[in-house]
Structure 1
Amino acid sequence: MIAGIDVGPTNTDAVLLDGTGAARATAKVPSAPDDPVAAVRAALRALPRTGEPVSRAAVGLRGPARAVVERRGLARVGVLRIGGNAARAVRPLYGWPPDLVDAVHAGSAIVEGGGGFGPGDWTALDEDAVARFAAGLAGRAGAVAITGVFAPVDGAQERRAAEIVRREMGEAHVSLSGELGPLGLLERENTAVLNGALHRLAGDLADGLRAALAEAFGPDLTVLVTRGDGSVMGLDHLRRHPGLGLGSSLASTLRGAAILTGRDGAVVADVGEHRIRVGALAGGYPQQAFGARIGGVPVGFWMPDLIRVPRSGPRTRAELAEAVDRMRPSADRLPLVLVGGGAGTFAEARAHDPSHPDGTGRSNGLLEVAGGLDGVGLPGVGEVLVPEHGGVAGAIGAAASPVGGQAERVVRVDTGTDLAAVLAEVREDARASAVRAGADPRRVTVSEVSRTPLPYLPGATLRLHARASGPAHLL
């Protein structure tokens, strides 16, 4: 058996899935304010037991994002940027809200280093400057975020700087931008800083979740948490990379919608008590956001694209219809999947004979609303699906999603480039990322590497990206 728990702002949901992926038991309880571990314990107490052993459990959390928004429980971070003059045009933490800077910033420095696509372009890392900066942070910072301007091309200088920081500071948490973020310098740097700021909260969460789940199911249990890309990761990976959990609650809800409906492509509306969150599925995983912000800060974490709509009001249906239209990745008409605790009420649907020409019907646990969005008072979109157990879609997505990893690299392609070798390296990087996150190394599969031209860089330059996933490595 597999357990899934999704901690929401209002309710916490739990589910037990059997070996076929069928829900054998579900529970929904009020969330404990500001205490996700207490919410998990309450949901597990309410979850009926089947008598069969549980081998793993996965938890979806909103706690890290709330901590950033509310500026609480954050560690102070030293910000180190590698790139010399090429990195000085915009200072670190540019555009951050002042109160968040006050809560997080322990000092920053820009040191020499960096380069380009060839060995002749590189400037040596100023290791003495790195050591001085790290020594000056003693007693003032619990974490250090390191950002190399050219880390998407080669992350070696970030890794070397991390070695120096650990030598000077001992047990300080170190975040490397090349392991977390996208191409943009500021978004990548912000991502690394928030990752460091969240590490103390993540450690407390990991300890609390391990204890709560061991009490419920015994110590021989693999514990996972959800990620913003729709996969899951182990607790040790959460400690190292807590920012990967940002946006993970909606991601697991979207994955749950895909699992419950069998649809790899759809627009999903998560209908809650006070608001509706609208996202989209592409290939069975969340459609990723561009230009995401957390607590007023632009970041580059892999997070679901999201539009929020008020749950009630004179324009709710019109705004929902507009959000659904905006979320469609193409002009193709996609189904709308309604999940969440308020989905059934919102749809105003009745389940009866599927053969009825103008009614609704439930088949294989799926309620189809006749007339599409017109059937719920929203014109312009066709099929609407309300899956059975959609009220706990987030918990189902957490329980059933694989352990994942991703890898990106920027490469210039010329006559001397062995592109096949570079593609193989990116695949291996993605596979290794999934294994570090807790996947069974014998059962990881890697997607084909996508190739995106970057016309704003000189020469023929490609962004290479691969996703890897596999079942958890069980204890």
Structure 2
Amino acid sequence: MNWQSGLRIGIDVGGTNTDAVLMQRRVVRATYKAATSYNVSDGIIRAIETILAQAGEDVSAVQCVMIGTTQFTNAFVERTHLQRVGIIRTALPATKGLPPLLDWPADIKAAVGGHVAMVPGGYQYDGTSNSALDERAIANAARNFKAAGLRSVAITSMFSPVNGDMELRAEEIVRNEIPDAAVTLSHKIGRLGLLERENAAIMNASLADLAKRVVQAFRDALIKLKINAPFYISQNDGTLMSAAHVEKYPVLTFASGPTNSMRGAVYLSGEQDALVADIGGTTTDLGVLTGGFPRESSMTSDIGGVRTNFRMPDILALALGGGSIIRADGKEPLQIGPQSVGYRITEKALIFGGDTLTATDIAVAAGYADIGDRSRVVGLSADVVRDAVALMHGRIAEGIDRMKTSAEPVPLVLVGGGSILVSQELAGISRLIVPDHAAVANAVGASIAQIGGESEGVYSYAVTGRDAAIALAKQDAVKSAIAAGADPDSVEILDIDEVPLAYVPGGAVRLRVNAAGRLRLTADLQAARP
């Protein structure tokens, strides 16, 4: 049976809620939303049991499970569950004046770093050697890491996305000294910029133990439910990766939550090119859809105060959600957020018998949302309600203006549990769309995600020619997607990014190509099974 005609489960484990959907072809068979449990495995089990019971289906009918999670993002931002990392940079004599962890916040630098080795090595932009790799220095560094009790190592080499051989050789040397080490190679994660790529590698290495625990929790949940189907985890570009890949590269899940919501918005609304507002309990995440995929950020991304350069969606987060606290004492100007009651909205908001005025209370009092007990907000000042409604819509309109690249009106798709906050027309919007099942768009996005691949390199158009260089880059991206588990017949090129390198001779251009295709479910993917 074609897996796409069978049952697929999409789950999004967020910091506030765990959402789940049961999908068959393009039909949403059942949905689930509940507060995220302390034990992630228990929450997943409860979600799957609920949606299968709703649909009257047995676990044997499930053909694939896709999971999105914020566990790794939250751990890094909150400085929890991180491990110390041994850091090796092969780039001397270059980069000596800019050591690793240079601009990291002091608290996270203390939690993660401190053991750094800078050794000769690395390449130039065209893949030629910068200096010979000092293998003895790497072996000495590995022995020092082992003596310090370190079991996670990040290795970065200059221009390694162009030529990763020195990082691969450094890994061999480290494993000779520390056989059980978790080793992160920067060229597997980041892009050409050395410091940002190195930061991403160190971040990833600091999450190595947590990645194994989280993935095992997912695996245990499916085993306990007797679901004998592959499971995949969504990454931040809207595509999927295997559980084994997540254990190696947990940072690739960063920002997968907003990305899943945007992909779910495409699926539920049918809009390929639009703005998306994912309104949750605390924030509104605004993004742009281009050809059905989130617009990629062209800037370095800041995660917990650390700059990185791996692929991330272009997201604008506004401090406005369904649980945002309203302050209106009549003395100071009315204020919404940034504080929020978050997942406690059902006990804190006025409409649920609480004592805190929230954005959801305002929506109910204004008459355009029907949730909770409206009688509890009938006594609110009409001026407060009017001003709060205007402020909420004004804040979203301002965010929309910041995300648009032209003055032309565009569609806006509203998703997330807080989508009830918007009721009025917004400037710059051609039409407002709230699709069915908007509250669980993130889980829908996880369930329909594709397998992606990327290639990046520096090419000399003077030597290779533009057409030939682009053809090679496309070929590499397609191979990458197929290797990750995409059906070869379905892989398509999503975008091509050309950046001329003005100060490099020979007409050098940095080419980055993204490709994606449908998940291939065949015998060679059995390693993905729990």
Normalising by structure 1, report the TM-score. Answer: 0.88
- Number of the residue aligned with 1:273: 281
Distance 1:49 1:407 in 2: 41
Aligned pairs for 1:390-429 (under 5 A) are 390-414=438-462, 416-417=463-464, 422-429=469-476
- Number of the residue aligned with 1:177: 186
- Change beyond 3 A, Cα 1:36–1:410: farther
- Change beyond 3 A, Cα 1:431–1:119: closer
- Number of the residue aligned with 1:14: 20
Secondary structure at the residue paired with 1:76? coil
Distance 1:135 1:435 in 2: 38
- Number of the residue aligned with 2:36: 31
Encode CA deviations 1:275-310: one digit per residue, 9 max, x unaligned.
Answer: 211111122111122221111111122222222222
Counterpart of 1:14, as a letter, is A
The answer to whether the 8 Å contact 2:156/2:198 transfers is yes
Distance 1:255 1:78 in 2: 37
Distance 1:168 1:421 in 2: 43
- Number of the residue aligned with 1:212: 221
Distance 1:424 1:174 in 2: 32
Encode CA deviations 1:397-452: one digit per residue, 9 max, x unaligned.
Answer: 000011112121122332x3365554444334323433443434565444464422
- Change beyond 3 A, Cα 1:10–1:121: closer
- Number of the residue aligned with 2:413: 337
Counterpart of 2:18, as a letter, is T
- Number of the residue aligned with 1:296: 305
- Number of the residue aligned with 2:238: 230
Secondary structure at the residue paired with 1:397? helix
- Change beyond 3 A, Cα 1:445–1:275: closer
- Change beyond 3 A, Cα 1:406–1:336: same
Deviates more, 1:218-227 or 1:120-129: 120-129
The answer to whether the 8 Å contact 2:127/2:163 transfers is no
Distance 2:400 2:466 in 1: 39
Encode CA deviations 1:142-184: one digit per residue, 9 max, x unaligned.
Answer: 2111111111322221111112112221121111111111221
The answer to whether the 8 Å contact 1:10/1:30 transfers is yes
Encode CA deviations 1:329-376: one digit per residue, 9 max, x unaligned.
Answer: 444322111000121x2233xxxxxxxxxxxxxxxxxxxxxxxxxx34
Deviates more, 1:423-432 or 1:181-190: 423-432
* CA drift at 1:388: 0.6
Secondary structure at the residue paired with 1:16? strand
The answer to whether the 8 Å contact 2:495/2:515 transfers is no
Deviates more, 1:242-251 or 1:123-132: 123-132
- Number of the residue aligned with 2:11: 5
Distance 2:110 2:449 in 1: 37
- Number of the residue aligned with 2:436: 388
Distance 1:175 1:307 in 2: 29
Aligned pairs for 1:303-322 (under 5 A) are 303-309=312-318, 310-311=320-321, 312=324, 313=336, 314=388, 315-322=391-398
1:347 to 422, 431, 454: 422
- Change beyond 3 A, Cα 1:135–1:444: farther
Counterpart of 1:207, as a letter, is Q
Secondary structure at the residue paired with 2:410? coil
The answer to whether the 8 Å contact 1:36/1:61 transfers is no
Aligned pairs for 1:128-207 (under 5 A) are 128-139=136-147, 140-207=149-216
- Number of the residue aligned with 2:50: 46
* CA drift at 1:316: 2.8
* CA drift at 1:112: 0.8
Distance 2:260 2:132 in 1: 43
Encode CA deviations 1:106-154: one digit per residue, 9 max, x unaligned.
Answer: 5111111123245765421111111111121105322111111111322
* CA drift at 1:472: 2.6
Secondary structure at the residue paired with 1:175? strand
- Number of the residue aligned with 1:434: 481
Secondary structure at the residue paired with 1:408? strand
The answer to whether the 8 Å contact 1:117/1:411 transfers is no
The answer to whether the 8 Å contact 2:72/2:211 transfers is yes
The answer to whether the 8 Å contact 1:237/1:438 transfers is no
Deviates more, 1:381-390 or 1:271-280: 271-280
Runs of 4+ in 1 over 6 A off after TM superposition: none
Counterpart of 2:244, as a letter, is D
- Change beyond 3 A, Cα 1:249–1:98: same
The answer to whether the 8 Å contact 2:126/2:459 transfers is no
* CA drift at 1:195: 0.9
Distance 1:82 1:102 in 2: 23
Q: Which protein is bigger by CA-based radius of gyration?
A: 2
2:401 to 302, 314, 325: 325
Secondary structure at the residue paired with 2:62? coil
- Number of the residue aligned with 1:452: 499
The answer to whether the 8 Å contact 2:272/2:292 transfers is yes
- Change beyond 3 A, Cα 1:153–1:331: farther
Counterpart of 1:471, as a letter, is R
2:165 is aligned with 1:89: no
Structure 2 portions without partners, runs of 5+: 1-6, 325-335, 337-387
RMSD, matched Cα? 2.1
Counterpart of 1:144, as a letter, is V
Distance 1:229 1:271 in 2: 20
Secondary structure at the residue paired with 1:66? helix
Counterpart of 1:389, as a letter, is H
Provide the identity percentage. Answer: 38
Distance 2:476 2:266 in 1: 27
Distance 2:85 2:11 in 1: 31
- Change beyond 3 A, Cα 1:98–1:113: same
Counterpart of 1:211, as a letter, is D
